[in-house]
Structure 1
């Protein structure tokens, strides 16, 4: 080998290995820093004036790990991974081992586990049963509703349709997540109101101070699309003649409320200072993925931009606010089997978390980051430390074909990466060689063990990260609906809006015991 070739080889080798610290001093320093952080943790027993709940839809632990590596390497920590309190949530629904977003969001926001596909109702309502969903005793109130009852402001931000499965349980009660507009409702469900109408016409939807996301074709009858924002056949398309955005506008004007309706990034960045209600619909369907988003003023805003605008409006209320922010496109990318896009959407939501933390205070704002369910994403052995998480892990000693670091348990047709070949006069399904494909592409679909119409949800536990008042309540393995209880307690809303807090009761009991001891 020529001397210059040796130099080039060693240079490349050092780029991938020498830069990675592995000596004893490095590992000790890493752990000592974590210990120092842990020793500084103190319980914040103040009441949470404000609550911001981030939901990374489909953001399971493996998605977070992949996002961490993608963002800064194996030793990196995402913004919310630096939060002082962490727990796990069990995600099963009332009737299924593995949930969907509608029933899991109902558990998170209302403290009651529901059946798959239903939202804002308890488990007495079977999926698609309109008649049973009309029983108001089966309805469950959300954190957004309880915040409004306490005089606080409430709002939602989502990269999905504002009527989709995760945001809808904040304001709607439905036997089917699919009933977003009247066109998707069967004949035997005509007496039930679609989710979009519940958002605009009913309480608490009509009184939400911030609503930001997609879904114009669900809200406005016979909406027209553009080449950049076409009508989608995947979601409901309203055809009953209603313009619910106009209904929203007339409602606010009749009540003399200060509001603003926006439809692109430029308008969102220039909202008026004196408004109390902000309504932004930026797409006919879901918002675009972050990597393909038009970042010009006429384009769609990022989840960070929407989050900052929401906090600006909500923070005007001296009594505080509740805000739910959903990174919904994480889930959409996983359903398509596109791991890099899902991970990139996770990083986009992390930026929104950072933005929220930067403009709020730990003194009075409880910030929580969690997920509604996992996906079947796996991280395979044994790629080199420092290599791309979207690259090749190694060659299989069984079939001598490379495999990628990331793969799925289930996936759509694109994940069935096998070719039918004749080998030794025998017809076999042979894995395609991933090193011959662009595994770094946002459109690359990782291989899956079981081909379905699309990637399914997973049933594993999800992590919950918290900082701010009463964030220490997240400390163990919890039921998913415990999140509602912990937030309600921290903010003193809903079931904890009256009476003394536990801390106050302990103090009073202590004084009482001391008093009786003295008089003895």
Structure 2
């Protein structure tokens, strides 16, 4: 009986331990199966959405010649980058737009190579590495005449070129209009973003006029018709300094002092540009800007600075300021031998704009005139972009366009001019004809990198730029 009882106890103990072993083994098996399933899903995701490493990018290695395989292997890194999924936020907090006026796709293709020396191979620009590209149509081919001011408003207000209103001589009623078109920059200001505009041209040029929501074709008072002045019209310079949009700019840097002040310093390095407008009404809009900021600072503490020389910009601790106005030349910056570099202006602008609790919109215009060294100018832009910090929460756009106009505000494009003089054009020598065709405005190229850069693809109208930027910034505010 004693033996039987011990046998029963031993069997129960063995059975209990067997059950525990079964439970542990089952748990391990389930864990292994779940891990295998997860690994399988992750592998499938990587195959469909990104390349984890170089080995994942395959080709017919055994089917190509050794000399060909060398180049296939070197191209794997570029292909790997193209297939890699973007990381970071879905929508950007900030947007930086670099507008290059005066070059096109043909120039970009030519200037990637070193002049008369191909031993260095093909040198890509920074924007060549951007993952997305769109083409913006040139609607000027359908407009006679094609006014540069209206083209700028199509870009920055999002209205098709054919719907942009021509300004009338009697524009006084527009000053208090409630249905004025808002530029994408003004929209950014209204939702609490910091804004900046930097140009190598004048801050009263066509781009600034469109961004600043001005309603004039005249950069200063000198060339305004008498009837326009009497009806209450204001020139672009005065509207930028006294208007809500212009006063709300956190950063404005460029040329155009002779439009803002009637008396300006004239030096050998910075002469007055006699081809441009010169104010003659005794104004001092720079002093007015400073006075307004002083009054504003008494209501709400702000720090601001007005600078007019390169050394002032170099020594400026820009991150300490809320507002910065830099007028660095009487005319365009190209007319001032001592004007600051594009890189310096962009660096100081970003120091002003970057605040921890606010996003920003910065628009930089590089105006490349026909007599400039285009290769050198593109290299300056390339260096500027290369030295910028690549923020994961920032959308960066580079817009390349060759829409150069011979006169400041009102003129016809080269293409429209050619079409309207076809008989004379085809009687020209072949070299002259090729040169004229090369100068025609072509479709603009828009390179994009950063959150939501994928929406910039295909062939779009000029107005698409403003629509897209407005969209991503509004979503950024809704999804911080």
Query: Which residue of the partner structure matches residue 377 of structure 2?
Result: 345
Q: Separation in 2 of the partners of 1:353 and 1:98?
A: 35
SS across alignment from 1:106:
helix
Deviations 1:346-397 (A, max 9, x none): 22122222233x2x40x21111000344469xxxxxxxxxxxxxxxxxxxxx
Does 2:314 correspond to 1:285?
A: no
SS across alignment from 1:249:
helix
Deviations 1:88-114 (A, max 9, x none): 111215962785543232222211134
Query: Which residue of the partner structure matches residue 438 of structure 1?
Result: none
Q: Separation in 1 of the partners of 2:260 and 2:278?
A: 8
Gaps of 5+ in 1: 1-22, 116-121, 377-407, 412-428, 432-446, 502-520
Higher Cα radius of gyration = 2
> Cα offset for 1:37?
1.6
Q: Separation in 2 of the partners of 1:313 and 1:497?
A: 20
Query: Which residue of the partner structure matches residue 242 of structure 1?
Result: 283
Does 2:195 correspond to 1:195?
A: no
> Cα offset for 1:409?
9.0
Query: Which residue of the partner structure matches residue 11 of structure 2?
Result: none
| 1:112-511 aligned within 5 A | 112-114=159-161, 123-126=164-167, 130=171, 136=177, 139-176=180-217, 179-190=218-229, 191-256=232-297, 257-272=302-317, 273-288=319-334, 294=337, 299-316=338-355, 318-328=357-367, 330=368, 332=369, 334=370, 336=371, 341-356=373-388, 358=389, 360-361=390-391, 363-374=392-403, 448-449=432-433, 458-492=440-474
Deviations 1:382-423 (A, max 9, x none): xxxxxxxxxxxxxxxxxxxxxxxxxx9999xxxxxxxxxxxx
Kept in 2: contact 1:197–1:244 (CA 8 A) = yes
Query: Which residue of the partner structure matches residue 83 of structure 2?
Result: 39
SS across alignment from 2:134:
strand
Kept in 2: contact 1:410–1:448 (CA 8 A) = no
Query: Which residue of the partner structure matches residue 78 of structure 1?
Result: 125
More strand by share: 1
Please give the root-mean-square deviation of Cα atoms over the aligned residues, in Å.
3.4
SS across alignment from 2:182:
coil
Q: Separation in 2 of the partners of 1:70 and 1:246?
A: 47
Q: Separation in 2 of the partners of 1:448 and 1:49?
A: 48
Kept in 2: contact 1:410–1:451 (CA 8 A) = no
Gaps of 5+ in 2: 1-66, 406-413, 418-427
Count of residues paired in the alignment: 389
TM-score normalized by structure 2?
0.72
Q: Separation in 2 of the partners of 1:137 and 1:458?
A: 38
TM-score normalized by structure 1?
0.67
> Cα offset for 1:483?
1.1
Kept in 2: contact 1:94–1:114 (CA 8 A) = no
Query: Which residue of the partner structure matches residue 157 of structure 2?
Result: 110
